[in-house]
Amino acid sequence: MLESGNKPLRIGTLAKRAGVNLETVRFYERRGLLPQPPRADSGYRMYPSEAVRRIQFIKRAQEIGFSLKEIEELLRLRSSPHGMSAQVRRRAEAKIEDIESKIRTLRSMKSTLQKLSNACPACGPASECPILESLDRENS
């Protein structure tokens, strides 16, 4: 007897089980992140049950900051007989550096905005607002 988890899934069922919408499944398929499934005689695409796990992998990788191109590389490493965990770790460490760089940039932006906000008395016409004046300067 076949376990229900092993039966091929139509796109709607796959999307529901993976917690995404239909367009996400189609998008991943177009991007090559999800292999194109065979079609049943009825014309419906029939996805293997493992596609749920693959989509969830993609979503979790996105949530921690990996781009779709980077996720494609991770998927390739995972399925390659020559893929090594050291390669995955290098990609994770590069992502950490990228995130740290973004954090530094965001902190700098926040500091600048705080200074501008503190310089604004919040009274008078907007045309005299020091925030707007600062943004309008040619050589900031």
The model's pLDDT over 37-54, given as tens digits with 9 standing for 90+, comes to 988 888 889 999 999 999
> Please, are residues 8 and 41 in contact by the beta-carbon 8 Å criterion?
no
- Is the backbone of residue 10 left (phi > 0), alpha (psi -120 to 50) or beta? beta
Which residues touch 36 (CB under 8 Å, ≥6 apart)?
A: 29, 45
Q: Which CATH class is domain 4-136?
A: mainly alpha
pLDDT (0 to 100) of residue 57: 98
Tokens at residue 137, please? 């300067």
Per the listing, tokens 């921690």 go with 64
Give the chain's residues under pLDDT 50: 1-3
Residue-level pLDDT at 51: 97
In this prediction, residue 5 carries a pLDDT of: 59
Q: What pTM did the predictor assign?
A: 0.79
Q: Are 16 and 54 in contact (CB under 8 A)?
A: no
DSSP one-letter code for 4: G
Q: Where are the domains of the chain?
A: 4-136
Burial class (CB in 10 A: 0-12, 13-18, 19+), 56: middle
